[in-house]
């Protein structure tokens, strides 16, 4: 069958909302886009463990420590699901991790901002995981089977992440004046970078059009960003926090919040590696990977020993 027919059959499956599975024929460009997006999603999960990991030993109570420990552990698991989903596309995890460490691959810009105090852990859970959920719920309907299925499980865990963050801020907002000021300072610093998590404006998004055609992306960057703002502003009101956007205003006619301009220069700068924590994050990530080498070697040695023993058993059986 020629390439054109294969492409037409492939697109017909996409248009019929059928899932594409690893063994199905797919255009190289579709495969490449998935490897790019899913691996960068995985990198974001793993690098995202760093800003919060710093606060596990500084949590204000055992209960907060246990919740944060569980969340950071979940993020590691999300990274592993997503690396596994990427490997179904015929690429090795080592190559993906090498691309992250060399700076060739991206991870979400949000993780290049510093977590300065405990209120930041609340803001990260509420805003960063809240934004991630908005994006990931849409991805539960993405056209690539393994990615969509990974999303279903990840979203279940993300809702706990968002809730524990919101509860941290609720406790601070019902606390002393100093604690309330900490919560307001945290939202002042995390609000705009969280909006950038949805990607550049649709008019400046080189991948969106094709990704929407292939139903990898089910809603556009701007659509999900707007939905996140509409959902989150009432939650900020309930906390008694002021969203740091003087132009934020409910627009009855649109049925959405109007909001001020996002600093895309800052976004591009962070992506270029000039964020507050880019260098530190990569240094910590590479150090953790190197220090974990013995665990990977031991696991591989054990797996090889087991498969040799199974071969011996089956050869004498």
Q: What is the footprint of ligand 3HC within residues 210-239 (CB under 6 A)?
A: 211, 217, 221
Cα–Cα distance, 32 to 39 (Å, whole number): 11
d(CA 42, CA 38): 6
User: Does the footprint of ligand 3HC cover residue 281 (CB under 6 A)?
Assistant: no
C-alpha to C-alpha distance for 275 and 111, rounded to whole angstroms:
9
112 near ligand 3HC, judged by CB under 6 A? no
For ligand 3HC, the binding residue among 44, 162, 232, 278 (CB under 6 A) is 44
Q: Which of 115, 208, 226, 278 binds ligand 3HC (CB under 6 A)?
A: 208
Does residue 85 interact with ligand 3HC by CB under 6 A?
A: no
Residue 182 or residue 200: which is nearer to ligand 3HC going by CB? 200
Q: Residues 6 or more apart from 313 whose CB is under 8 A from it?
A: none
Select from 1-9, 39-47, 114-122, 301-309 the region that touches ligand 3HC (CB under 6 A): 39-47
Q: Tell how far CA 114 is from the center of its chain.
A: 17
Candidates 86, 109, 232, 278: give the one binding ligand 3HC (CB under 6 A).
109
Of 290, 188, 281, 198, give the one whose Cα is nearest residue 242: 188
CB of 229 to ligand 3HC, least distance (A): 15
Pick one of 36, 65, 93, 289: the residue that binds ligand 3HC (CB under 6 A). 36
Instruction: Residue 126: name the closest of 275, 14, 233 by CA.
Output: 233
Q: Which of 20, 35, 49, 108 binds ligand 3HC (CB under 6 A)?
A: 108
Asked whether position 48 contacts ligand 3HC by CB under 6 A, the answer is yes
Please say which residue, 49 or 180, places its beta carbon nearer to ligand 3HC: 49
> For ligand 3HC, how many residues bind (rule: CB under 6 A)?
30
Binding ligand 3HC by CB under 6 A: which of 26, 50, 127, 128?
128
| String of DSSP letters for the chain | --HHHHHHHHHHHHHTTPPB-TTS---HHHHHHHHHHHHHHHHHHHHTHHHHHTTGGG-SSHHHHHHHHHHHHHHHHHHHHHHHHHHTTS--HHHHHHHHHHTSS---GGGGS---SHHHHHHIIIIIHHHHHHHHHHHTT-SBHHHHHHHHHHHHHHHHHHHHHHHHHHHHHTS-HHHHHHHHHHHHHHHHHHHHTT-S-GGG-TTHHHHHHTTSSSS-HHHHHHHHHHHHHHHHHHHTPPPS-TT-EEETTTTEEE-----HHHHHHIIIIISSSHHHHHHHHHHHHHHTHHHHHHHHHHHHHHHHHHHHHHHH-
Query: Least separation, in Å, of the C-beta of 261 and ligand 3HC?
Result: 17
Task: Establish if 120 lies at the interface with ligand 3HC (CB under 6 A).
Answer: no
**Using rule CB under 6 A, residue 143 touches ligand 3HC:** no
| 106 touching ligand 3HC, by CB under 6 A | yes
| 54 near ligand 3HC, judged by CB under 6 A | no
20, 34, 45, 130: residue in contact with ligand 3HC (rule CB under 6 A): 45
Asked whether the CA dihedral 239, 154, 105, 17 is positive or negative, the reply is: negative
When the beta carbons of 179 and 230 are compared against ligand 3HC, the nearer one is 230
Among 10, 26, 35, 37, binds ligand 3HC (CB under 6 A): 37
199 forms part of the interface with ligand 3HC (CB under 6 A): yes
Choosing from 11, 54, 179, 205, the residue that interacts with ligand 3HC (CB under 6 A) is: 205
Residue 280 touches ligand 3HC, criterion: CB under 6 A: no
Residue 314 in tokens: 């089956």
Can you give the binding site for ligand 3HC, defined by CB under 6 A? 36-37, 40-41, 44-45, 48, 75, 78, 106, 108-109, 128-129, 132, 135, 158, 196-200, 205-208, 211, 217, 221, 271
């Amino acid at each position: 069958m020629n390439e054109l027919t294969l492409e037409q059959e492939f697109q017909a499956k996409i248009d019929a909302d059928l899932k594409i599975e690893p063994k199905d024929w797919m255009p190289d460009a579709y495969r490449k886009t998935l490897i790019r997006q899913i691996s960068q999603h995985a990198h974001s999960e793993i690098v995202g463990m760093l800003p919060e990991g710093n606060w596990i030993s500084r949590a204000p109570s055992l209960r907060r420590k246990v919740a944060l420990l569980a969340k950071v552990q979940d993020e590691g698991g999300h990274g592993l699901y997503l690396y596994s989903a990427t490997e179904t596309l015929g690429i090795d995890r080592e190559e993906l991790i090498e691309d992250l460490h060399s700076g060739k691959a991206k991870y979400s810009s949000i993780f290049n901002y510093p977590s300065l105090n405990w209120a930041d852990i609340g803001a990260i859970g509420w805003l960063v995981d809240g934004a991630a959920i908005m994006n990931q719920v849409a991805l539960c309907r993405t056209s690539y089977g393994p990615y969509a299925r990974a999303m279903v499980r990840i979203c279940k865990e993300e809702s706990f992440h968002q809730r524990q963050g919101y509860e941290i801020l609720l406790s601070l907002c019902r606390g002393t004046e100093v604690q309330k000021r900490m919560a307001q300072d945290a939202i002042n610093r995390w609000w705009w970078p969280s909006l950038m998590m949805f990607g550049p404006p649709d008019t400046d998004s080189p991948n969106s059009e094709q990704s929407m055609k292939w139903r990898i992306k089910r809603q556009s960057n701007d659509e999900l960003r707007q939905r996140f703002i509409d959902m989150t502003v009432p939650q900020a009101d309930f906390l008694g926090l002021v969203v740091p956007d003087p132009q934020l205003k409910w627009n009855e006619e649109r049925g959405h919040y109007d909001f001020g301009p996002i600093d895309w220069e800052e976004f591009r700068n962070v992506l270029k590696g000039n964020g507050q924590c880019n260098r530190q994050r990569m240094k910590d990530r590479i150090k953790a990977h190197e220090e974990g080498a013995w665990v990977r070697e031991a696991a591989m040695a054990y797996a090889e020993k087991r498969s040799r023993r199974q071969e011996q058993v089956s050869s004498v059986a």
